[in-house]
Chain A
Amino acid sequence: MSLDLILRVGTKLILPFILLFALYVQFHGDYGPGGGFQAGVIAASAIILLSITFGLEAAHRIAPQSLVERMIPLGVLIYAGTGVAGLLMGKNYLDYSVLAHDAVHGHELGIFLVEAGVLITVASTMTALFYAFAERGR
């Protein structure tokens, strides 16, 4: 019987709330403090907590190294791709007003996509950094 029962059960209980809070911060960025960067850090902290409590293998099962390394450029690709969408629709780069039927909705959608890209890149970069340090000397 291991002595870290409270830690294990506590981690399992808190993990979904961490992820939910990350999503809250992500979407609340429109109205108050928050946004992709903060949300990405919070989401990554869930993975980090998981690997501290259950070991690196458990974290690797959920977020494998290769996936994490591909998510880093993916987020930037979403961000930059949103900019190019404006370009393809005949406007300037990063002009979101053409993304929807009117300019205001277009801007909302544009920022939403950009923030999603930020979330993905920040979360995966934090995780990759943690993996890099955790795997040293193994």
Chain B
Amino acid sequence: MSAVWPHLPILQVIIPLFGALLAGFARRSGAAFAITLVVSWLMPLCAGAMLWQVLASGPISYHLGSWPPPWGIEYRVDVLNAFVLMLVSTIGAVIMPFARRSVAFEIEEGQRAWFYCMYLLCLTGLLGVTITGDAFNAFVFLEISSLSTYVLIALGRDRRALLAAFQYLIMGTIGATLYVAGVGLLYLVTGSLNMVDIAARLGPAWADNSRAIIAALAFVTVGVSLKLALFPLHAWLPNAYAYAPSWATAFLSATATKVAIYLLVRFLFSIFGVAIDFRALPVAAIVVALSLAAMFVASLIAVFQSNLSRMLAYSSVAQIGYITLGIGFVNLAGLTGGLVHIVNHALMKAALFLAVGAIFFRVRTVRLSELAGIGRKMPITMAAFTVAGFGLVGTPGTSGFISKWYLALGALEKGWWVVVFLIVASSLIALVYVGRVLELAWLREPSDAIKDANDPPLSMLLPLVLLAAATIYFGLDTEWTAGIASMAAKDLLGGLR
């Protein structure tokens, strides 16, 4: 065990990579699933060990190929990315058992092994973006996760999935191009790709290169915002989430946008924020304005959706707005709220999309008009949906309340009373779209389309119930979510110039 200890950062990335390759070799869906399950369950152990190590003794640095930074690629784990690594790998581990039946139902036999291969590649990419301390290496991992995501979406149940994947491919590629252009500018100015090193060199370079640095900030912010679907750059997201295989949607909604948010935070606070006073630039104000727009516009669009997946997809855009709102506050409570909502939203949205997957598994439709009375036929599934739905609204006692509490505190600290009001008002819109589904599910007589439905098998039910339970648990005990998030926020703000 002690021999493994110093190599945990790289194992976090190469175990899923090897898993993907083996799944690609296996070609048979059963074997590929077994490999994927083992890998997914190893990941939280790895991330948990690193989180423990970081909390106990500070950041971990790992030098690939033993080349010292800034020349070689450095993997650098601090509280913030250990927190995100833990989230991504835990989500993957918890929802993996759900995949076997759901994937077997939605994807034909010949493509199932490729599905698992692509999922593991996506996991590799997401964990890689999070763990690396090298700006260009982050781009490479971003592309690994994006390319595999396009394939995951294209494997969806009908031909509209192809169009959705293509739409995302175009937008994702533009985002990645902008990001790498920004990194290129930073390299031009500082001569370095290592994030810590860039941050150290950027300050002295500011006097002569302020235009290039501002351009780099703009490129990186817009590029990453496309990836994280910040309103109005979210156009790819609703179709991608609606037409991807159900399980892939649950995974992506809980992790992919969250990792992009992590990258934005890393660039704003650990690179630009350290070197220049970005509070003097309008970045945070723009982010706050767009976040508020996302919270209202996307929530309103969600109210009028007739397809449950699309409704939840628009809700995701709105919820991402809450996260970026907290980031835009640039104060302790706000940033804590944003970071803690990364976790809380991931847990809730994974539960909701798993419930949608379970419904599709039983009744082959997710059109709201056909789901009347579904709660009476699939009570456990819809109970979990209800709990997570209340979390989305931000009801006290659920984790969503904790996020919004911190966000409101952050707004108060800034003296922005209007924003506090807006947070509450947008939550009421969430209540409308969630309430609409709940009324339909519980209070109507079951329709003919769903008369044979019942709760899915245990392997699908258990992840769903676990995530719903987590929504309540983290609404009551916030030590592991808000506690660590506020430590990470303190670190980030402490480094600011």
Q: Which residues of A contact B (CB under 8 A)?
A: 69-70, 72-74, 76-77, 80, 83-84, 86-87, 90-97
Contacts and interface: CB of A to CB of B under 8 A. Distances in A.
A77 B24 CA distance: 11
Contacts of A70: 25
Given A80-B17, A80-B18, A93 B10 contact: yes
A92 B25 contact: no
B107 interface: no
Interface stretch (B59-67, B173-181, B198-206, B422-430): B59-67
A95 B24 contact: no
15 contacts: A69-B27, A74-B25, A77-B21, A80-B17, A84-B14, A87-B7, A92-B62, A92-B63, A92-B64, A92-B65, A93-B64, A93-B65, A95-B65, A95-B66, A97-B66
A91 to B, nearest CB: 6
A87 B10 CA distance: 10
Contacts of A74: 25
A24 to B, nearest CB: 28
Nearest to A66: B27
Interface in B374-430: none
Contacts of B24: 72-73
Nearest to B24: A73
A69 B22 CA distance: 13
A83 B62 contact: no
Interface string B1-37: 0010001001000100110111011010000000000
A73 B18 CA distance: 9
Interface of B: 3, 7, 10, 14, 17-18, 20-22, 24-25, 27, 62-66, 117
Contacts of B66: 91-92, 95, 97
A94 B21 contact: no
A95 B62 CA distance: 12
A95 B424 CA distance: 54
Given A69-B27, A73-B117, 16 more contacts: A70-B25, A73-B22, A73-B25, A74-B25, A77-B21, A77-B25, A80-B14, A80-B17, A84-B18, A87-B7, A92-B7, A92-B10, A92-B62, A92-B63, A94-B64, A95-B66
Nearest to B10: A93
Given A92-B7, A92-B10, A93-B7, A80 B62 contact: no
A94 B18 contact: no
Nearest to A98: B66
Nearest to B117: A73
B21 A76 contact: yes
Contacts of A77: 18, 21, 25
A96 B21 contact: no
A80 B21 contact: yes
Nearest to B13: A93
Nearest to A90: B3
Across chains A and B, which 7 residue pairs bring their CB atoms closest together, nearest first?
Answer: A94-B65, A73-B24, A93-B10, A73-B21, A95-B66, A92-B66, A77-B21
Of A69, A91, A94, A97, most buried by chain B (CB within 10 Å of CB) is A94
A89 to B, nearest CB: 11
A77 B117 CA distance: 13
- Point out which of B10, B20, B66 has the most chain A C-beta atoms below 10 A from its C-beta: B66
Contacts of A87: 7, 10
A94 B27 CA distance: 28
A47 B65 CA distance: 35
Contacts of A80: 14, 17-18, 21
A60 B242 CA distance: 38
Nearest to A94: B65
A69 B20 CA distance: 14
B396 to A, nearest CB: 47
Instruction: Give the most central of A76, A83, A93, A97: most B CB within 10 Å.
Output: A93
Contacts of B117: 73
A69 B110 CA distance: 13
A91 B22 CA distance: 24
Nearest to B3: A90
Nearest to B64: A94
Contacts of A76: 17, 21
A90 to B, nearest CB: 8
Contacts of A92: 7, 10, 62-66
A95 B7 CA distance: 12
Nearest to A87: B7
A19 to B, nearest CB: 26
Nearest to A93: B10
A132 to B, nearest CB: 13
A114 to B, nearest CB: 11
A96 B66 CA distance: 9
A90 B7 CA distance: 10
A72 to B, nearest CB: 7
Nearest to B17: A80
Nearest to B25: A73
A95 B24 CA distance: 26
Nearest to B63: A92
Nearest to B20: A73
A74 to B, nearest CB: 8
A132 B10 CA distance: 35
B149 to A, nearest CB: 18
A69 B18 CA distance: 16
B120 to A, nearest CB: 11
Nearest to B65: A94
A15 B22 CA distance: 33
Contact of A96 (B10, B14, B65): B65
Contacts of B25: 70, 73-74, 77
Nearest to B26: A73
A77 B7 CA distance: 19
Contacts of B14: 80, 83-84, 93
